[in-house]
Amino acid sequence: MVESTLFTIVFVLYILAVLFYLAAAFSRNDKWAKPGLGLAFAGLVLHSAALLVRTFESGHAPFTNMYESLSFLSWAMVLAFVLIDRKFRIPRIGAYLMLIVVGLVALASSPLMPKEATPLVPALQSYWLWLHVSVTLLGEAFFAVAFITSILYLTADSEEKKEKMDSVSYRCVAVGFPLFTLGGLVFGMVWAYKAWGTYWSWDPKEVWSLITWLVFALYLHTRIVMGWKGKRSAIIAIVGFLAALFTYFGVNYLLSGLHSYA
């Protein structure tokens, strides 16, 4: 009850944040951005509270079904965004990223997602659940910011803006890629070994996280060694995020495998 009330308030705060950021982006007046950040931050605080309440009520990590993991992913995206925005202050990122967040929260709240907290099946009863899922989703949240900034790079009209977007995009990959590698691949392998007795089974979710990893490895090598920047980098980052999105979402609904729980 408390959690769903909090979640509704969070939803409203995020919508308001989007409105302010859109106003800032389209009026080209940064005075609207400040309340936007404030609202996003307030939403983040209440969202954290909602996740904590959920954890205490269910007695387990708040990402064991689609509703919970969508909620956690949107939380991680707002966190990534608040950190990035504090440093770079680009309202346009806020407008589009918060729009995606609102979409995710709306999807989580929709009747499609069963919301009741169910007890943990034996396979998920492990502290690696915390480490594996939270760190992976945090990495994916930074990929989401890189995705937005890459799109903004492609649509930007001035060189100055483009350069800024390119740099923010790289920063996000530089944070997201190590997190994704550690959480998704390393912690995933450790947990798989503990639960199934094999660290790698070529399960579709494993393969898709490897594909995501290869795409971002490509991003770094083309950029650092071959000096690719700008447009080509932006396109690789977009492909990488789409691969991560498919790993997170598509694999569950389109392919079958060991990761059937979420």
Partner 1 sequence: MSSKVLIRGPSPGPRRPSGMDMRTIWKFFSSVKLAIALLILLALASVIGTLIPQGEPPAAYAARYGQLAGLLTGLRLTGLYRSGWYLILLFFFAVNTIVCTLARFPAKWCRAFRPEVETETAGLLALKFKGRFGKNGPVEEVRTKFETVLKAHRYRVRSQAGQKRLCLLARKKMFGLFGSDAVHLGLLVIIAGGVVSGLTGFRTHIDLSEGQTVKVPRSSFEIRLDRFETEYYPQGMVKAWKSTVTVLENGASVLTKPILVNKPLTHKGFSFYQTGYGSDWDNPKLEVTVKKKSDPSFARTVQLNVGERVAVDAKDVSQISVKRFVPDFVIGEGRRVETRSQEPNNPAAEVEGWKSAEKVFSGWIFANYPDLEQMHSGKPTDLSFVLKSYRGSEYSVLEVACDPGVWLIWVGCLLVTAGFFLAFYWPPREIRAVLEEGRDRTEVTAGGIASKSRESFQADFEDIMNSVRRS
Sign of torsion over alpha carbons 131, 220, 214, 75: positive
Nearest one of 163, 179, 171, 164 to 145, comparing CA atoms: 171
Q: What are the angstrom distances between the C-alpha of 238 and each of 15, 106, 215, 228, 252?
A: 25, 23, 10, 15, 21
Q: Which residues contact 62 (CB under 8 A, 6 or more apart)?
A: 51, 54, 55, 68, 71, 72
Q: Which residues contact 117 (CB under 8 A, 6 or more apart)?
A: 54, 57, 58, 60, 68
| Binding map of partner 1 across residues 235-254, x = CB under 8 A, - = no contact | ----------------x---
Query: Quick one: which of 57, 114, 196, 260 contacts partner 1 (CB under 8 A)?
Result: 196
C-alpha–C-alpha distance, residues 39 and 208, integer Å: 35
| Binding map of partner 1 across residues 130-169, x = CB under 8 A, - = no contact | ----------------------------------------
Minimal distance, residue 2 CB to partner 1, in Å: 21
Asked whether the beta carbons of 262 and 66 are under 8 A apart, the reply is yes
262 binds partner 1 (CB under 8 A): no
Minimal distance, residue 182 CB to partner 1, in Å: 6
Query: Quick one: which of 89, 214, 232, 260 contacts partner 1 (CB under 8 A)?
Result: 214
211 binds partner 1 (CB under 8 A): yes
| Binding map of partner 1 across residues 13-52, x = CB under 8 A, - = no contact | ----------------------------------------
Q: What is the DSSP letter of 201?
A: -
Query: Quick one: which of 100, 107, 207, 245 contacts partner 1 (CB under 8 A)?
Result: 207
181 binds partner 1 (CB under 8 A): yes
261 binds partner 1 (CB under 8 A): no
217 binds partner 1 (CB under 8 A): yes
